[in-house]
């Protein structure tokens, strides 16, 4: 008996080509897993950050709702719903979200490096009196006597194995100094940008 799918009754070759153009099941699964992880990364972030990410409002609401759920099973179900909403995004929306998360990671690394630098500076203050002289020269607004007292108390805390009250206060002072310098640097950068903008303005 002749095969009805052959000859004049057969399928056009382009019908098969269209089917092969579609993503494979394994590729679709990989895409789904990637978007699920992207949603999980957003759920793990601070709410204020999530609110600033460019994305459709329904996707944002699903993420924020998931953050509110404490029950394990309820959170698991909501997380699946977040993954479902993430799959409604187009490529451009996904790319924007990914770039935003990557920028957070970069900022976190920079913050961690800055904190480690402050910890090293604190250790230098405790180990060497010259480090305090250098710090005061660079930051004349600091109270020298207060810092000397804190350093002396921190050394005593370490020697007598006491709670590190002065030790922590030194770190907070160094952190405030660093934050002040960063803010000043940002202000100067903003002024430079404004000056460049003014220079570009056409003359009357």
User: Does position 194 have pLDDT exceeding 50, yes or no?
Assistant: no
> 181: pLDDT confidence band, cut at 50, 70 and 90?
confident
Identify whether 126 is part of a domain.
Answer: yes
The residue from 38, 60, 89 where one domain ends is: 89
- Please state the pTM of the whole predicted model: 0.44
Tell me the residue range of the domain where 67 lies.
Answer: 22-89
User: Does position 64 have pLDDT exceeding 90, yes or no?
Assistant: yes
CATH code at 44? Answer: 1.10.60
In degrees to the nearest 10, what's the CA dihedral of 158, 160, 162, 168? -20
The top-scoring range by mean pLDDT among 14-18, 34-38, 71-75, 188-192 is 71-75
Identify whether 8 is part of a domain.
Answer: no
Identify whether 10 is part of a domain.
Answer: no
CB 151, CB 168: distance < 8 Å: no
Helical H segments across the chain, by residue range: 13-21, 25-43, 47-52, 57-68, 72-86, 91-127, 129-138, 144-160, 165-200
Domain count, the chain: 2
Predicted local distance difference test score (pLDDT) of residue 123? 94
Q: Are residues 113 and 158 in the same domain?
A: yes
């Amino acid at each position: 008996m002749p095969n009805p799918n052959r000859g004049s009754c057969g399928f056009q070759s382009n019908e098969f080509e269209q089917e092969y153009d579609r993503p494979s099941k394994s590729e679709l699964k990989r895409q789904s897993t990637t978007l699920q992880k992207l949603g999980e990364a957003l759920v793990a972030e601070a709410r204020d950050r999530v609110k600033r990410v460019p994305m459709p409002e329904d996707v944002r609401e699903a993420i924020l709702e998931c953050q509110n759920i404490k029950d394990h099973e309820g959170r698991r179900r909501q997380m699946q719903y977040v993954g479902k909403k993430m799959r409604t995004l187009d490529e451009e929306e996904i790319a924007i979200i990914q770039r935003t998360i990557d920028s957070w990671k970069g900022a976190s690394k920079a913050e961690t490096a800055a904190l480690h630098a402050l910890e090293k500076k604190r250790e230098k203050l405790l180990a060497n009196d010259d480090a305090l002289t250098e710090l005061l020269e660079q930051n004349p607004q600091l109270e020298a006597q207060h810092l000397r007292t804190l350093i002396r108390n921190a050394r005593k805390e370490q020697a007598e194995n006491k709670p590190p009250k002065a030790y922590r206060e030194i770190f907070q002072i160094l952190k405030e100094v660093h934050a002040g310098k960063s803010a000043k640097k940002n202000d100067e950068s903003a002024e430079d940008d404004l000056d460049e903008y003014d220079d570009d303005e056409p003359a009357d």
